[in-house]
Amino acid sequence: MKNQSVEVTFIMAGMRQRRRRWILVTSLLTILTCILCCAMLLFGNTIYPIQEVIRSLSGEQITGVSFAVNTIRLPRMLAGLFAGFAFGIAGYIFQTILRNPLANPNVLGITSGSSAVAVLCITVFHTSNNVVSIASIVGGLITVVMMYLLSRGKSFSIGRLILVGIGIQAMLDAIISYLLLVSAQQDIPAVLRWLNGSLNGSQIKELPPLMITVIIFTPIVILLGKHLNMLELGEQTASSLGVATDRTRILLIVSSVLMIALATATTGPIAFVSFLAGPIANRLVGVSFSNIIPAGLVGANLVLLADLIGQFAFEYRFPVGVITGLLGAPYLILLLIRMNRKGEL
C-alpha cells in the first residue's frame, strides 16, 4: 500500500509539472502573438507611434495613419492571425488522428483541391475574388469526399488514406500546372500570388467568414481534445476506453477541413504552416496534454513572423508563403531522413 501511494504521488506530481509547463508555454506563445500583432500594426513604409495607432483603431481620423492602419495593416494582421491559427490547429489534428507527421492538409491534397478550383476560376472563368474564395472552399470539401470514397474499405486505414491523399495531391498539382501553361499572360500574376500564399491585398470585408469559423469550431475541437489523445493510442484502444471513434474522427476532420478551406480561401495555401505547427507545439509542451491551442498559436506566430520577415528582412518583399516554404522544406527533409533511419518509410 505504501509503495502504491508513493507511485500515485509521483504520478500526480508529474501531471502537475506537465500542466504547469503547458500553461507556461501557452502563455508565452500568447504574449508572442500579441507582440507580433502589434508589430504588424506599427511597422510598414512608415513607423507610426503606438498612441496614434491606438487612436486610429478607436475610430479617430488621423491623416495618413487611419488609412494605413485600418485599411492595410489591420486586415493583413487579422488575416495572418486567424489563417495561421486555423492552419496550425488543422495540421495538428490530422497528424494526431492519422498518427503520422506527414499527414497534414498540404500533403493530403486538401489545400491543392482548394488551389486547383481557385486557379480554374481565375484563369478560365475570370470570376471575382468572392467567387474564387467560395469555390476554393468547395474544392477543399470535394477533395476530402474523394479521399474518403477512394480510401474506403472494410475498416478505416491510415496508410490507405495517406496514399490516396498523396495521389490526389499529385493529380491536382498537375491540373494546376496545366492551367498555368494554357492561361492568358495577364492572369498569371494573380494566380502566382494566390498559389504562393500571401497576406497582400487582405480586406476587412473578406475576413468575417474565416474569423467566425475559427471562433465557432475551435471550442468544438478543444472539447474533443481528450478523445483526440485516445485516438492516438489506436482504434481498438480508443474504442475500449469508450470513445465513439468514427463520430469523433468525422467531427474533428470536418472541423479541420472547414477551417483550413476558409483559411486557404482567404490567404492562399501558405506552405508548411500546418506541417510545422504541431511538431513545434509538441516539442515545446510535450505530448501529455492536448496541444490544440499551442499548435494554433504556433501557426499564427509562424505566419505573422514570416510576413514581417518577408516585408522587411530583404531588399525585395516576398509573400509569406515563400518564407514559410524556406523554413519548412529543410524540416521536411530532416523528418524524412529520420523516419527512414527508424524504418518508418
Q: What is the pLDDT of residue 327?
A: 85
Question: Residue 173's pLDDT is what?
Answer: 92
Residue 28, in any domain of the structure: no
DSSP 204: G
- Whole-structure pTM value: 0.91
In a domain, 227, yes or no: yes
pLDDT in tens, the chain (345 residues): 555 565 666 666 667 888 899 999 999 999 999 999 999 999 988 899 999 999 999 989 998 899 999 999 999 999 999 999 999 999 999 988 887 777 778 777 888 998 999 999 999 998 888 888 889 889 988 998 888 888 876 666 777 888 888 899 999 999 999 999 998 889 888 888 788 889 988 999 989 999 999 999 999 999 988 787 777 666 677 777 677 777 888 889 889 988 998 999 899 889 889 999 999 998 899 876 789 999 999 999 999 999 999 999 888 889 999 999 998 888 878 877 876 677 665
pLDDT at 119: 92
What pLDDT shows up at residue 81?
A: 98
pLDDT given at position 74: 97
pLDDT score, position 323: 93
Q: Domain tally for the chain? A: 1
User: Is 309 a member of any domain?
Assistant: yes
Long-range contacts formed by 205-212: CB under 8 A, 24+ apart:
206/75, 206/129, 206/130, 206/133, 206/266, 207/75, 207/78, 207/79, 207/82, 207/266, 209/133, 209/262, 209/265, 209/266, 210/79, 210/82, 210/83, 210/86, 210/262, 210/263, 210/265, 210/266, 211/78, 211/82
What CATH number does the domain containing 304 carry?
1.10.3470.10
26 in a structural domain = no
Domain assignment present for 10: no
Complete DSSP assignment for 161-178: HHHHHHHHHHHHHHHHHH
The reply to whether 97 falls in a domain is yes
Residue 214: the pLDDT is 96
Q: Is residue 68 part of a domain?
A: no
pLDDT at 84: 97
> pLDDT per residue over 167-198, tens digit each?
999 999 999 999 999 988 898 888 887 888 89
Grid cell in block for residue 250: 468525422
- Tell me how far CA of residue 225 lies from CA of 18, 47, 123, 219, 235, in angstroms: 16, 41, 41, 10, 16
Quick one: pLDDT at residue 15? Answer: 73
Residue 29, in any domain of the structure: no
Q: Domain range holding 279?
A: 79-341
